[in-house]
Chains A and B, each alone.
Chain A
Amino acid sequence: MDMKATSGKKLGLKEKYRHMTRGLDWEPSYQKKEDIYPYMAYEGIKIHDWDKWEDPFRLTMDSYWKYQAEKERKLYAIIDAYAQNNGHLNVTDARYLNAIKLFLTGISPLEYMAHRGFAHAGRAFPGAGPRVACLMQSLDEIRHAQTQIHALSNYNKHYNGFHDFSHMLQRVWYLSVPRSFFDDAVTAGPFEFMVAIGFSFEYVLTNLLFVPFVSGAAYNGDMGTMTFGFSAQSDEARHMTLGLEIIKFILEQDPDNVPIVQRWIDKWTWRGYRVLTLVGMMMDYMLPKRIMSWKEAWEVYFEQNGGALFKDLARYGIRPPKWLDQIAFDKDHISHQAWATFYQYGAASDFHTWSPTDDELDWLSKKYPDSFDKYYRPRLEHWREQAKQGKRFYNTTLPQLCQVCQIPMIFTEPGDPTKTCYREVDYLGEKFHFCSDGCKEIFENEPEKFKQAWLPVNQIYQGNCFPDGTDPTVEDFEPLAKVLEYYHVNFGRDNLDFEGSEDQKNFAAWRGMATTNE
């Protein structure tokens, strides 16, 4: 239905925007505001005037719809062409596929959760401005989830490990890392959610997620991923503006908001940084054609860009996030520590790992002159030597996990990469363990929330990660096999070393057929 202005005159953009967003809002008369917006007070944030909210992008629903439809048309034309032309055979090397398995299983479901989170936040805010902005971001996010699933379903026709991402997200040990990150955000109140995802993730950290994957796809001949990446990134400008607007708005409303927001910035920068460990590993080890090192990416996208941002926020009384010293030290280490983890637990994951080639080891030495040769190269060369002798290392004893980030306790002491970092807290007679001061402090602020964490390792030991009807008391019970069955990871196809895998053989055979007359 088209609305016709009775004067016959067309509305200007600004007017149209006002009528179609704030103009549609009304003051309730027979219900109390607190009943309509029940989540506005309990986080302690004080808002005095919702009309002070500056709408960061003046977009009405009808033009939003038009723009997005146009993007979709272009995107699906490219994805279809890519599928029809067997574009997957143009990627640099089949090892690359494991990077996008990690993306599909670990990141795409978060897009869906972001959709839910922004829908919830939008519903919770009494202000019409943020409500409309959150609605649009919520729709963007479900679009991202859907386009990623569609684009990557093409790989599922040909390769292993793409078959059951939503089932895996709820169960698989390393997927509990991104999963618990987002579950923490969507179960927080609407203000914390906006600071967590809208600001800390979308504004401060998003480039560290998207640039590596999208450029990684471009560098490695993956047109499909590159295309959905660009399509999603075109929404990103709006998301970043919203993230910055929400933080400024909250801070300007009441000085009592400052310490609460500061605590959330500390928490969510740390949590986001921990999740990005997976991206660091992907950049340094999983892209056959590298774009830049994790360390370089951190320096450009966080230290430089983030530094300017926090200078800007200083006038509100906000300081840079805590633990940046440790992060700065750790940028030489975490990607290596993560790859070593996935290499040794390669029997329990949904993608393949491998020993880096000599060229790749040399690249790492060059990019990490202060750490790689001294601490990590000996480990990798030892494993490679063992693998050559038929003794490829598969660690089958379960690791201790951090109660908050849920990553195995792989990180080292600030300033000493030879010592595992152990932190613990006694809470109501029970011990809780953490990978770092950051995760420990996050727990201490909300122990009642984090003591409920579903830690995959501990759940396995409780007997909760076997298929229904499993009897763990039978003779020669094989727990790992049963856990993989519960995960829907097919042993020998989805897991283990890339060398000798079905993916490796099929890719080589199909590429041979496409490029020779054999």
Chain B
Amino acid sequence: MAVAAVKDYRFDSADRLENFHGNQLLFVGWEDHLMFCAPFALALPPSMRFGELVDTTLPGAFGYHPDFARIDWSAVQWFKSGQPWQPDFGRSLADNGLRHKDVIRFRTPGLTGIDGSCS
């Protein structure tokens, strides 16, 4: 049962891709760093290079954390929808297989937040 209704009930999804003016949503979380209370929601052009996301967008989002400057990006482990995943920094979000409203996370081995509290 998709919904209980008195008559035919069909509506569009509020967050369908076409509503975002050429951008798509990407959700990004940093494991073991819950000082950022939730993963971030970003609206990005699918043609953006993954490396550009890491170099220009993520610092604005996560840079406040003292661990951020210590990240060794070559050692970072990535996950997409919770599964291990390997992005290609030279290719676009779309070419990396990232679709509208995908969620990715990254783990930075050795960095576990303020006093190791996962903050």
Contact = CB atoms under 8 A, between A and B. Distances in A.
A453 B21 CA distance: 19
Contacts of B9: 448
Contacts of B117: 374-375, 378-379
Contacts of A400: 27, 29, 38-41, 103
Contact of B37 (A344, A382, A458): A344
A74 B99 CA distance: 60
A422 B103 contact: yes
A337 interface: yes
Interface stretch (B12-20, B48-56, B68-76, B87-95): B12-20
A125 to B, nearest CB: 16
A414 interface: no
Interface in A332-358: 337, 340-341, 344-345
A455 B15 contact: yes
Interface string B3-36: 1111001111111100111010101010110111
A395 B36 contact: yes
A458 B2 contact: no
A410 B82 contact: no
Dominant secondary structure of chain B at its interface with chain A? loop
Contacts of B114: 378-379, 382
B14 A399 contact: no
Contacts of A516: none
B119 interface: yes
Nearest to A407: B38
Interface residues of A, number: 56
B41 A458 contact: yes
A341 B42 CA distance: 18
Contact of B60 (A397, A462, A463): A397
Contacts of A344: 35-37
Nearest to A420: B29
B21 to A, nearest CB: 7
A462 B13 contact: no
Contact of B103 (A192, A398, A433, A445): A433
Contacts of A455: 14-15
Given A344-B37, A374-B117, A410-B38, A461 B103 contact: no
A471 B35 CA distance: 33
A77 B80 CA distance: 61
A192 B4 CA distance: 10
A399 B29 CA distance: 10
A341 B38 contact: yes
A457 interface: yes
A461 B44 CA distance: 10
B40 A399 contact: yes
B110 to A, nearest CB: 15
Interface string B56-69: 00001100100000
A408 interface: yes
Given A382-B114, A430-B15, A461 B119 contact: no
B63 to A, nearest CB: 10
Dominant secondary structure of chain A at its interface with chain B? mixed
Interface extent on B, as a size class? Answer: 35 or more
A401 interface: yes
B39 to A, nearest CB: 4
A307 interface: no
A437 to B, nearest CB: 14
B35 A433 contact: no
A401 B41 contact: yes
Interface string A27-58: 00000000000110011100000000000000
A451 B43 CA distance: 19
Contacts of B43: 461
Nearest to A430: B13
Nearest to B13: A451
A389 interface: no
B79 to A, nearest CB: 9
A461 B20 contact: yes
Nearest to A446: B3
Nearest to B31: A419
Nearest to B62: A397
A418 interface: yes
B6 A448 contact: no
Contacts of B4: 42-44, 188-189, 192, 446
A486 interface: no
A447 B118 contact: no
Contacts of B20: 461-462
The 4 lowest CB-CB distance pairs between A and B, nearest first, are A399-B38, A408-B38, A379-B119, A418-B118
Interface of A: 38-39, 42-44, 188-189, 192, 337, 340-341, 344-345, 374-376, 378-379, 382, 393, 395, 397-401, 408-410, 412, 418-420, 422, 424, 428, 430-433, 445-449, 451-455, 457-459, 461-463
28 contacts: A38-B6, A42-B5, A378-B119, A379-B114, A379-B119, A382-B114, A395-B64, A398-B41, A399-B38, A400-B38, A401-B38, A409-B29, A418-B34, A419-B31, A420-B38, A424-B81, A424-B103, A430-B15, A430-B101, A448-B9, A448-B10, A452-B12, A452-B13, A458-B15, A458-B25, A461-B23, A461-B25, A462-B20
Given A375-B119, A428-B13, A446-B2, 8 more contacts: A192-B4, A340-B35, A382-B114, A420-B31, A430-B15, A446-B4, A448-B2, A451-B11
Interface of B: 1-6, 9-16, 19-21, 23, 25, 27, 29, 31-32, 34-43, 60-61, 64, 81-82, 99-103, 105, 113-115, 117-119
